[in-house]
Amino acid sequence: MAHNRNMPSTTQIYLIEDDRTVLQFVQHALALRPDWRLVGHSETFAHARIMAPNSLADVYLVDLGLPDGRGEDMLRLLALTKPEAELLVFTVFGDESRLISALQSGATGYVLKGCNATELVEAIEQICDGGAPISPLLARLLLKQLRSSAPVQAADNSGTVAALSERETDVLKLVAQGYVNKEIASRLGIGTATVSTHIKNLYRKLAVHTRVQVVRAAQERGLL
């Protein structure tokens, strides 16, 4: 385990994954981008709980199926301790139902494990550039989730209202219909980056309630 304290502009990655072949794959992929660094790796939940929050990483790749704990719990911890970091779920399949749960726990995106090295690098780049991967089914689930939770959140005395804006609804609807970001941008007359930003905002909206809860819990316990 090593912690490289490089220049701030360098993207630093922390991997939480028990499969060593995935570690090798990530290392192989990062060879494509010499300015990126794998600054840490944990194979267990216990190790990650101690080490990951103290890392200076910008991007965390988190496997949901850790041998000694739930990936969602790790995401909550990192969302609290590293609020500016990108938290990517590293998953074999889309498994959108579980992804929703991960996003609510604070994840800001996901990467499919079956991708090749180039695709992994592109995914991380997209995340760091403010984008977010999304599938039609995930969009559909998000639409349902945010619509149904909006009244609850509106009544929340925290004052945080995570209702969908009209534009976000349009974006989600189009994603759910299978349109890709470029087509959505064209249809809505906005830039592709804006589409990505909307999606990323949606992820954060989904997690915001969780984040507020986590912060409150931490404050109550005297951690903050």
Partner 1 sequence: MSQAATPKNAAGHWIGGYLVLALLLLMLLGALHVVSRPGQIEGVVRVQHVNASLPDRPHVAPVQVALPHILDDQPPAWWGRVDYAIPWPAQLHYADPAQTQLALLLPRVGTRFRVLLNGSEIYHVGWHAPQESNFLTAWFPYLVILPPGLLHPEPQQNALHIQVRGQLLERSGLWPVQIGPHPALFERHQTLHLWQVKGTWIMFITSVLMGLLSLYLWSAVRERLFLLLAVATLAHSVRLGLSVTLEPVLSYGWYFYLHRFSFALFIGFFFLFCDELLGLRERLVRHLCWFLIGFSALWLAWTLFSQNYDYHRLWAGITLALAGFMVAWLLFKAWRRGSLQADHVLVALVAIFIFVTGLRDFLVVKLNFPGDADLRWTTLGSLALLFTLGWVLVQRATASTREVYRLNQSLAGMVAKREAELCQAFEQLHAAQQQRAIEGERRRLMRDMHDGLGSQLVQTLNMVRSQKATQDSRSVESMIYHALEELRLMLDSLEPMEGDLPTILGTFRQRVEPALASAGIELDWQIEEVPALAGLDAQGVMHLFRCMQEIFANVVKHSRARRVTVRTRSDAQGVYLSVIDDGIGMAVGSAPGKGQRGLGNLRARASKLGARLRFFDAQPGTGVEFVFPTPRPDAGSPSKGPPLQASA
Q: Count CB-CB contacts under 10 A for residue 112.
A: 17
Rule CB under 8 A: say whether 176 interacts with partner 1.
yes
For residue 59, the cross-strand partners are: 13, 86
- Exactly one of 2, 9, 50, 114 binds partner 1 (CB under 8 A); that residue is 114
The residue among 77, 71, 121, 120 whose CA lies nearest residue 99 is 71
Residue 220 region, left (φ>0) first, then alpha (ψ -120 to 50), else beta?
alpha
- Exactly one of 130, 156, 183, 192 binds partner 1 (CB under 8 A); that residue is 183
- Cβ at position 177, least distance to partner 1 in Å: 4
How many residues form the binding site for partner 1 (CB under 8 A)?
A: 19
Give residues 83-102 in contact with partner 1 (rule: CB under 8 A). 93-97
Where are the alpha helices (H) located in 2-65, listed in sequence order? 20-30, 45-51
Quote the DSSP letter at residue 163: P
Residue with smaller CB distance to partner 1, 77 or 142:
142
- Cβ at position 120, least distance to partner 1 in Å: 15
Residue with smaller CB distance to partner 1, 5 or 144:
144
The residue count for the chain: 224
For residue 40, the cross-strand partners are: 14
Rule CB under 8 A: say whether 51 interacts with partner 1.
no
- Cβ at position 77, least distance to partner 1 in Å: 28
Count how many Cα atoms sit within 13 Å of the Cα of residue 113 in the half-sphere of its side chain: 19
Stretch of 25-33, 60-68, 75-83, 170-178 lying at the interface with partner 1 (CB under 8 A): 170-178
List contacts with partner 1 (CB under 8 A): 93-97, 114, 135-137, 139-140, 173, 175-180, 183
